[in-house]
Amino acid sequence: MPDVPESHPRKDSLSARQKIVDGAKRGLLADSAMIAHGRGEAFDYLLGEKTTESATMAIRRVATLLTSAERPVISTNGNTAVLAGESMIRVAAVVGCPIEVNLYYRTPERMSGLLSLLGEQRDSVAKEKGPSQFKGDWGEAVRSVRILGDEADFRIEGLEGPRALCTEDGIGLADLILVPLEDGDRCEALISLGKLVCVIDLNPLSRTARMASVTIVDEVSRAAISLLSEVLNPTEVEGEWDNDAALRDSLKHISNAIDRL
């Protein structure tokens, strides 16, 4: 990527695009990954490229659920691994949960490429100093994050084809799954298996966003950074989560974009 100065107003967006381009060159992404990314960018633009208040509340709720679940797992696809893999590893280290590579367009080459990428990211995160609020040995916590997905020994009931494949130890037996950029069918199938499904999706109207237990309408790399702060210091959130209200709030934010002119 040509040198983009820190002050460039589109710096984050350009560097995310470059990560997607590099990931595609490495064969890590689905053929339609750029289309999905472009759709996300359009929604993000309308949201003002900022985490909204309702997204902050959703992130807080997901942090509380993640830290209190018995068998949480973070599911990661191609786009998530290249955009937010390291942040997701940090979150997994704090929560003490595995990360599972689970793909919509599953091929052996992409699976092994993404498993290697996450392994490299884990090595690099393990060398960091770690967040100041983290109590314990950061390197050890990061190194003990299991990266699953290699041995698919379980099928998600109600789904056809390779996208139903997962691991029993991860998604199969999980009570809570955090799935960024999920597809509607899989979200629905996981919900009907009685699991809590938390998603990150910039489109508040997608079937995934509407099906999920908790939807974070935010850009995945931004949301993952906020999620890390929240899991380091989870707060008790009172009352039932009203996901429809959160989605309506995101849509209101989009329709208020006219006020930002």
Residues at the interface with ligand PTJ (CB under 6 A): 30, 32-33, 36-37, 39-40, 43, 77-79, 83, 103-105, 181, 183, 200-203, 206, 219-220
Rounded Cα distance, 210 and 13, in Å? 26
* Residue 162 tokens, joined: 């390779």
Closer CB to ligand PTJ, 142 or 209, in the complex: 209
Tokens 């508040």 correspond to what residue? 204
Separation of alpha carbons 94 and 1, rounded Å: 33
At its nearest, how many Å lie between ligand PTJ and the CB of residue 51? 11
Nearest residue to ligand PTJ, scored by beta-carbon proximity:
40
Is 143 in contact with 122 (CB distance < 8 Å)? yes
Closest to ligand PTJ by CB, 32 vs 133, is: 32
d(CA 223, CA 226): 5
Query: Is the CB of 240 or the CB of 244 nearer to ligand PTJ?
Result: 244
Amino acid at 187: C
Residue 155 β-bridge partners: 165
Distance CA 180, CA 99 (A): 12
> Whose Cβ is closer to ligand PTJ: residue 36's or residue 227's?
36
Least distance to ligand PTJ from the beta carbon of 34, Å? Answer: 9
DSSP H or E segment with residue 53: helix 53-68
Stated as kind and residue range, the H or E segment containing 214 is: strand 214-216
Q: How far is the CB of 56 from ligand PTJ (least distance, A)?
A: 15
What the block records as the tokens of 137 is: 């040995």
In the complex with ligand PTJ, the residue whose CB is nearer, 86 or 219, is 219
| Beta carbon of residue 255, minimum distance to ligand PTJ (angstroms, whole number) | 17
Of 43 and 138, the one with the shorter C-beta distance to ligand PTJ is 43
Q: Return d(Cα 70, Cα 165) in angstroms, integer.
A: 22
Least distance from ligand PTJ to the Cβ atom of residue 202, Å: 4
CB of 200 to ligand PTJ, least distance (A): 5
